Amino acid sequence: MPDLLTLAMGGLTNGAVYAALGLALVIIFRATRVVNFAQPALALVCAYLAFTVNRATGGYWLGLLVALVAGAVLGALTERLLIRPLRSRGNELAPVIVTLGLLLVLQAVCGMIWSAEPRSFPYAFDFRGAFSPASVFVVVTVVVVAGAVLLLFGATPLGLRLRAAALRPDVAGLLGVRVGLMLTIGWVLAAVVGALAGVLAAPPFLSPTVLDTVFVYALTAAVIGGLDNPVGTILGGFVLGVALSFVSGLLGPELVTLAALAVLVLVLSLRPHGLFGSSVARRV
């Protein structure tokens, strides 16, 4: 009998990271109806910055802080310089390609600066044990951050503005909401959450492609959960993490990607907008 508890705990930790990166995708999708394919690269840059700060200071927390700040700056720049010019275009494909281009550029820049060699990236706490402090930190952080994001959206004036700007930018403007600023804030918020996900996902080894698979599973989680539903996405991330850990342990690691595909096909054939997504088709 395989050690299901250990598999579940390992899966939960992976799932937390999928959930966090998925949440970043959802925030941006809700704000601008764009799936941000550059998300893993933005997070990667932040993780590498954290790595550099860690190396210089020998600590963990300053690096994390730098990563979060860098995430905010990168998110704002991306929205202002690359996404905003496309807003009036009404072309679904343009932002996809622009964010893909950004993904390539940022990954390449990371490779140029930090090389393709894997760099060891520390855990926040001791990583040993089935319920290691490091794993608990990852899971708790993600749950707390997700809760904070939900609270921000649901119960604060800023959250109301963000939602209004995302849902009906024209109307929101007429109500005194600075729509452009809200979209930027949405990207900033998402990039900060993404940077956190990057730092949490980086250990033990950081390399330019390390977040690619994390991103694929994060997107899978978001699609399963419903791209405009943060709660669904977070649940989707955790469930996917545990499920894939079981698949790897019980059936074989080569089946993990196929299993993710199977779950996705199953869910989408039953519910084309994910388990918790709203089926209100909104043409933008």
Partner 1 sequence: MRILALGVVAVLLAGCGGAGESGDSAAGVRNETAGVTDTSVLIGTHQPLTGPAAPGYATISKGAQAVYSYVNDGGGIHGRKIDYRVEDDGYNPTRTVEVVKKLVLQDKVFALVGGLGTPTHSKVVDFLTAEGVPDVLVSSGALAWDDPQGSPMTFGFQVDYTREAKILGTHIAEAMPGRKVGVLHQNDDVGRDGMAGLDRVIKDAIVSRQPYDPANADVLPQLTALRQSGAEVVVCECVPAFTALAILTAARLGYKPQFVVSSIGADVTTLTGLLADFGKRAGAEVSVPALLSGMVGAGYLPDVDSDDPWTTLFKEIHAKYIPDVALTDTVVFGMAQAYTFAQALKEAGRDLTRSKLLAAFESGKLEGPGMTPFAFSGESHAGYTGAYVFTVDSEVRTNVVREPMVTDRGDGPVTPAPSSRKTPAEVALVG
Partner 2 sequence: MLTVTGLVTAYGPVPAVDGVDLDAAGGVVTAVLGANGAGKTTLLRTISGLVAPEAGRVVFDGEDITGWPPDRVVRRGLAHVPEHGGVIAELTVAENLRLGGLWRPKADQRRSHGEVLDLFPPLAGRLPRQASTLSGGERQMLAIGRALMSEPKALALDEPSLGLAPTVTAAILTTLRELRLTALLVEQNARGALAVAAHGYVLAQGRVVASADADTLLADDQLRHAYLGF
Partner 3 sequence: MPALVRHLLWALLALVLVVALSLVIDPFTNVRLASVGYYLLAVAGLTVLTGLTGQVSLGHGAFLFLGAYTVGLLVIHAPALPIWVDLLAAAAVSGIAGALTGAAAARLHGPYLAGATLALAVGLPAVTQRFPELLGGSNGLGFTVSSLPPGLVGVVPTTRWQAWVVWATALLALVVLANLTTGPLGRQMRAVRDDEVSAALAGVRVGRTKVLAFLISAVCGGLAGGLQAFLLGTAAPGSFTPALSLALLAAVVLGGTGSLWGALWGAVALVYLQAGAEEFAHGFDLPTDVANFLPQAVYGVVLIVVVLVLPNGVHGVLRKFSRRRKESTV
Residues at the contact surface with partner 3, assessed by CB under 8 A: 29, 35, 37, 82, 85-86, 89, 91-94, 96-98, 100-109, 111-113, 115-116, 208, 212-213, 216, 219-220, 222-223, 227, 254-258, 260-262, 264-265, 268-269, 272-274, 277, 281
Interaction of residue 170 with partner 2, rule CB under 8 A: yes
Strands (E), 36-157: 119-120
Partner that binds at residue 147, options partner 2, partner 1, partner 3, none, CB closer than 5 to 8 Å by kind: none
Q: How far is the CB of 257 from partner 1 (least distance, A)?
A: 8
Report the residue number, 31 or 256, with the smaller CB distance to partner 3: 256
Interaction of residue 155 with partner 2, rule CB under 8 A: no
Q: What amino acid is encoded at 138 in this protein?
A: V
Q: How far is the CB of 57 from partner 1 (least distance, A)?
A: 10
Q: Rg for the chain (alpha carbons), in Å?
A: 18
User: Exposure of 82 by Cβ count < 10 A (0-12 exposed, 13-18 middle, 19+ buried)?
Assistant: middle
Instruction: Give the three-class secondary structure for 229.
Output: coil
Distance in angstroms (rounded) separating the CA atoms of residues 17 and 24: 11
Strands (E), the chain: 119-120, 205-206
Q: CA-based angle 152:163:146, to the nearest 5? A: 35
Residues in 175-204 at the binding interface with partner 2, rule: CB under 8 A: 175-179
Interaction of residue 157 with partner 2, rule CB under 8 A: yes
Instruction: Give the three-class secondary structure for 85.
Output: helix
Q: CA-based angle 255:106:116, to the nearest 5? A: 65
- Positions touching partner 1 (CB under 8 A) are 2-3, 6-7, 10, 14, 54, 58-60, 111, 115-118, 120-130, 132-134, 204-205, 207, 209-210, 213, 245, 248-250, 252-254, 256-257
Partner that binds at residue 134, options partner 1, partner 3, partner 2, none, CB closer than 5 to 8 Å by kind: partner 1
Distance in angstroms (rounded) separating the CA atoms of residues 147 and 53: 28
Q: How far is the CB of 280 from partner 2 (least distance, A)?
A: 8
Q: How far is the CB of 172 from partner 2 (least distance, A)?
A: 7
Fill in the DSSP letter of residue 120. E
Residues that bind partner 2 (CB under 8 A): 157, 160-161, 163-164, 167-168, 170-179, 278, 280
